[in-house]
Structure 1
Amino acid sequence: MALKSTFKADLKKERQLFPLLDRMYTLHLKHYRFERISAYDQQLKGIDVVFTHKTTGEKYSIDEKAQLDYINDDLPTFAFEIEYQKKELVREGWLFDTAKKTDFYALVTAIYEDSPNTFTSCKITLVNRKKLLAFLASKGITRQSLDQVIKKHPGKSAKQTLAQLHAKKQGYLYFSNLQKAEKPINLILKLDFLTVNGIAKRLV
């Protein structure tokens, strides 16, 4: 049986999450103003929100990523998209996509709801994209090196360990061939691992 794409349902959930995220930004961004971006061409470049420093005027492009498959759960990891399929063609995922103009990822986890699609609380972790890519490269984890691992993947297991990462404490590759129609391949990373290494910081 063919897997059905959840893209439209996820997009609807994302929009329902906006009011909660905006409240969180208002409460916890002490030195920045924020502006939600509605222009589709900007969103395609990985810009959902822009943070502007209240004093210097410096701007940062934010790409919001939410764990919408795990409502009312608090996972210690986050999935960074390497590649996916659309119309049976392999497309570049958002992590290594050079067309993206993202400065920071706002990773939204521990999303809780009191009633269906009425979100009441969440955690937000800000990840510096440039620092993340540089850190991964320093460990020998690049788009090219991962591509070699992907090509050699036997397809027997969804989880693929990487020589450069401790699977339980740091991260691993995950193949979602059986769970999602888009068959994404993700780099799963521990949020604490990113925080300890100065790549991420909890906003709330």
Structure 2
Amino acid sequence: MEVSDGEESSRKRPRTDSHYEERNSLREENDNLRCQMEAYKNEVEVIKVDLKKELEDKDKQFKMLQNTLQGMQQQLIDAKRKQTEEENKVKELQSKLQVINDGKSKINSDRDIVTVDDSEPEPSESTTISETTSEAVPPLNERDAKLVGIISAFLNVHPFGAGLDYIWSYVSKLESNLKPSDIEVLMTRFPTVFKQELMGIGANIERRWLFNAFNSSDD
């Protein structure tokens, strides 16, 4: 059966149109996929930049914390060294006070065994000096000796002296149940170790306690 050219052309056209539409559909789908891929790529770049910035910030924070920790460790080392030095000074002063107390006890013991006759001789110069020294150093119990050592070490690193409240705030951290008046009474008992001076001008005058044990001019 013969087919005319018109019929054959009409049969081919639908197939050609279908292929054209399919190609267009694939092209559009490909374009959409390309756009999505570009969007994903841009999103990944943004995420990478954000992560990089976040890592840099955390690295800066870590270095800052590391430097701070090193500084705190150095401060602790310095504070420990200073505490050790002060404790050594306290022990040294306690030893000196113990020697003074031992000397006073020996003087009192020697005085107790001396016999006095009817014609009591005039006191010699050495006896007078010993009695004066004995009276200048009142007896100390263990707690008072410790406090004298602590206060001496504190004032020794404050050559310009310190007020009573300042001294009390330091000592009360090491020895509880103390009042400022207790410390003032204790320091007043030892004028050869501690002395009080007025410092300042006009309304700024204040009373300060000074460590005086090493000043031979005040002996």
Please report the TM-score for the alignment, with normalisation by the length of structure 2.
Answer: 0.26
More strand by share: 1
User: Which structure's relative contact order is higher, taking Cα pairs within 8 Å and 6+ residues apart?
Assistant: 1
Please report the TM-score for the alignment, with normalisation by the length of structure 1.
Answer: 0.27
Instruction: Give the number of the structure whose alpha-carbon radius of gyration is greater.
Output: 2
